[in-house]
Every structure is written in C-alpha cells, then in structure tokens.
A and B are shown apart, each in its own frame.
Chain A
Amino acid sequence: MIPYLLRRFGQAALVIAAVGLVAFSMFRFVGDPVLAMVGQDATPAERAELRSALGLDDPFASQFGRFAANAMQGDFGMSLQHGRPVTGLILERLPATLELALVASLAALAAGIPVGVWAALRKGSRRAGAVLAGSLLGVSLPTFVIGIGLILVFSVSLGWLPSHGRGQTEAIGWWRTGLLGIDGWRHILLPAATLAVFQVALVIRLVRAEMLEALASEHVRFARARGLSERRVLFRHALPGTLIPVVTITGLQFGSLMAFAIITESVFQWPGLGLLFLQAIQSSDIPVMAAYLCLVGAMFVAINLLVDLACLAIDPRLRDPRPATAYA
C-alpha cells in the first residue's frame, strides 16, 4: 500500500510539473506584456529596459527555472498588470469563485434530486420525457447563451435580479463573503443558476437511473410489502442509497465548476478567479496566468488523488500489489 501511495503522489507531482511547463511555454505566444504596462508615449529604450528588468529577455529555460523554484515556495511573483503579488490577488479572488461554485453545486442538488426522483416515478409518462429532453437542452446550451438569456429575463424584462457583480460583501478575516446578506444572495442567483444548469441535467439523469434501480430492488419491494407508507418507502429506503453516487459525482464536478466558471464570471462580471484569468490573458500578464493554471491543475490532481485514495480504502483488490497495476 505504501509503494502505491508513493507512486500516486509521484504521479501527481509529475502532472503538476507538466501543467506548469506547458502553461509556461504557451505564454511565449500570448504577446508582449510590456505593451500593456506602459502607455504609447514610452520610448523604445524605456520599453527595452523594462523588458530586461523583468527578465523577459532571458532564455526560456532560465525563466521557467526561476518560475518553478519560486512557485514551489508558493511565490508566483508579481502581477505585471496590477503591480501586486499574484498570491494575494488569487487569495482575494478565490472566495468569489468558491462561493459561486458551492452555491451552484448545492442548487444543482436541490433542483436535480427532486426532479430526478419525480422522473423515475413517472417513467414512461410524456411529462417526464419532456423534462428529460429539456435537461438534454441544458447540457447542450452554451453557458454564455444561458447567462445572457437569464439576464434578459430576470434583469432587463422583469427587473428582479441584478445583472452583474457580487453586491455587498462582508469580510471574515481575509475571506470576503457575499452569502451573509440579501444583496449578496440576489447577486449570486443568476450566475449560480447559469453555472448549475449543466449540473442539474447531470443530477436529474443520475438520480433517475439510480432511483429506477432502487425501486426495483428487493429491499424496497420488502418495505412495500411491510405496508409502509409510500413516502417512507421512497425517502427512507429508496432515495438514500441513490445519493451516494450523486454526491460523489457532484464532488468530482466541483473542480470543473470552478475551472469552467470563466465564461459565467465574464458574463456576470463576477469578480472571481476566472475573470482575473481572462483579464490576465488580455494583458499578457504571465505570472497570473501561470499561477491560475497551476492552481487549477493542482486542484484536479488533488481531487483525483482523493478519489483514488477513497477507492483504495474501499476496494481491497487495489491494495494487493500484483493486480494493482491492472486497476491503476
């Protein structure tokens, strides 16, 4: 088991290093950050001086080496655009994205589970079929269309909800939260709904499939036979078993939610990591882009590692060194 763990950690480190290398080599093609750092009246000499002071003239290997050495100590350098440490910028923006992803996840569960159960109970009915077809639409519509559509309906036509920003936020230590006041909740509803649409569709289909299986199982039939009320059969005996895979999948999806919040954040001017990344691309802010990609890479690696370790704990076959290679 120990060699397996070591191997998994080694692989995780390799993946992160590869992400860093790929990310960093891409930046050679995203443009010249110096252009965004000075105005049009700076002289060529001033530009050249700035470029060499920033080390942008150095060979690729030494630039990457410097970046990697600092990054391992948690220092991603200074944002060229903002003139502030990247780590600070990211910590400042992280709460917004985490809250958005969290609310979207919970909303997806809250909406997806009841509808999924309902669709399972109404299997074969026309309305359930329509809901399933509708959920397919939710999976296929691009995020920006959903976002703009929600803004059009709820902000422009109805005037119920704000179209952009986070609203009022309170500070709890370094964490600025928008979830303590009504204003913050009003602001988070539309972006969270946009982000949740895909998840809802996923949860509905998952819950429906699991529920159909559970309803046909022995213990539910036995519960019915005991004469328990239908509600008790459904919510105490059938549903809980279906929720384990649902929660697992939702957890796994949380990483993608955070990573793919970029478009949602730009549509709603949500001041999170995605928006920071997008602005960094526009101004060729290399340190911010590198830090963001490494962070996302690390997050996926961490989530996958956790899942693997959980499976390891559950499935004894994985602990046996010989077949382990076959299952890895």
Chain B
Amino acid sequence: MDLINQPLPWYIAGPLIAITMLSLLLIGKNFGMSSNLRTMCTALGADKTCDFFCFDWKGQRWNLLVMLGAVIGGFIAVNYLSGSNTPEINPEVINDLKVLGFESAGSNYLPLELFGTSVFSSVKGIFILLIGGILVGFGARYAGGCTSGHAISGLSNLQLPSLITVIGFFIGGLVMVHLIFPLIF
C-alpha cells in the first residue's frame, strides 16, 4: 500500500500516458484535451459570436467526460493516493526560485505565491494566472492542439506540424522562464 502513496517515476508515468492515448484510439477517439476548451466556449454561448464555435458541441460529450474524469482523478490522487505531495525538484531550482520570491519552493506541490487562496486578493497574482490561461487557450487553438494533441499524439504519429508546434512550446517556455520571469517576479 505504501507504493501507491509514492510519486510516479517518469518511466511509469510516460508509458501510462501512452496507454491513455492508445485507449482512446481503440475506442475511435483522439487524445486532445484543449478541444474541450472550444467545446465549453460553444456550450457557454460563443457560437452566437463567431463561426468558429458553430458546431454540434454535444458530439464532443465524450471528451468532456474525459475532462470530468481528469478532475475526479485529481481529487482521488490528492485524497487517497498521496503521501508527500511535494515534488523533489532540483535544489538549485529551489534556490533560484527563492531568489525570485517563491518562498514555497521545495515545500509544496504548487507555489503558494500563485496558487494559495491568498492569490484571490492579489491583483498581480490574478493577472498572472489570467494571462497565463489566455496564452494557453489562444495558443492551443492557434496551433490546433496542446501537449496531449501535439506533443504526445502528433509526435507519436511522426507528424511534422506537431514537431514544429513542440519546438514553439519550448521557444515560448524558455523565453517566459529566462527572459520574462526576471521582469515580473
């Protein structure tokens, strides 16, 4: 029983993600989480604003169920399968983050400076999370997929557009962490 409380090592987690993709393929669906954002926009009425959202969103019900499952999975993992929830990140990274003002580095699953409930009363914190989300949502649709659709499904299928997208993910991530973080934190 102790084993299920341990974090999953990469060499278990990676294959389990591939199995997630395979399971969906075998029931005739594609692994792609960001499509749910478009579906939710339509369900919330965005189809009245532009054609991009005019599609039968109920046909995407299966993917919304996968998404709902991902929510439940998070709940189960935290409440029933967790010992320590603190990732053992590189001590150098912990030091770097403390210099940037992330005192919670090395002692929490997520930085409390951004994901503690006190962030709801911080204009800067709300702004950062909102902008981060907007970039993720916009970029995923512009590129036609996110980490699951491009980095896992697309690259597994050796598709060049997915390789270009993943290179883009890294350019964006590196610019954010190395050039923009020092300016905003």
Chains A and B belong together in one complex: no
Query: Residues of A with Cβ closer than 8 Å to B?
Result: none
